[in-house]
Amino acid sequence: MARILLLLAIGFVIYLVFRGFFRSQVGDAKPSEPKDVEDMVACSICGVNMPRSESKEEGGKVTCRDPSACRHAK
Ligand SMILES: [Zn+2]
C-alpha cells in the first residue's frame, strides 16, 4: 500500500513538473517567435543560406554581411 502511495506521489510530482515546464515553454515561445519565423535568404554571390538579419542587401541583391566570409565560402 505504501508503494502505491509513493507511486502516486511520484506521478503527481512528475505531472507538476511537466505542467510547469509546459507553461514556461509557452511563456518563452511568444517573445522568441519572430526569430523562429525569420526569413531565410540566399547570398547572391556564394549561395549560402542565412537568416535575413545576418545578410546584407545592396541594390536589391542579398549578400553575406561579412564579405570575407562570403569569398571564403566560394
Ligand atoms: Zn556570400
* Beta carbons of 44 and 56 less than 8 angstroms apart: no
Q: Are residues 4 and 28 in the same domain?
A: yes
Written in H, E and C, the secondary structure of the chain is CHHHHHHHHHHHHHHHHHHHHHHHHHHHHHHHHHHHCCCEEECCCCCCEEEHHHEEEECCEEEECCHHHHHHHC
Ligand 1 centroid vs 37 CA: distance in angstroms? 22
Q: Are residues 43 and 74 in the same domain?
A: yes
CATH number of the domain at 56, please.
3.30.60
Q: Per-residue pLDDT tens for 5-55? A: 999 999 999 999 989 887 877 666 555 555 567 789 999 989 989 889 889
Ligand 1 centroid vs 59 CA: distance in angstroms? 15
Ligand 1 centroid vs 51 CA: distance in angstroms? 12
Q: Are residues 42 and 32 in the same domain?
A: no
Count of structural domains within the chain: 2
Which residue, among 40, 43, 39, has the nearest Cα to 62 in the 3D structure?
A: 43
Ligand 1 centroid vs 36 CA: distance in angstroms? 22
Q: Are residues 32 and 43 in the same domain?
A: no
Q: What is the pLDDT of residue 37?
A: 73
Q: What is the pLDDT of residue 12?
A: 94
Q: What is the pLDDT of residue 28?
A: 61
Q: What is the pLDDT of residue 14?
A: 92
Ligand 1 centroid vs 49 CA: distance in angstroms? 9
Range of the domain at 15: 1-37
Q: What is the pLDDT of residue 71?
A: 75
Q: Are residues 27 and 47 in the same domain?
A: no
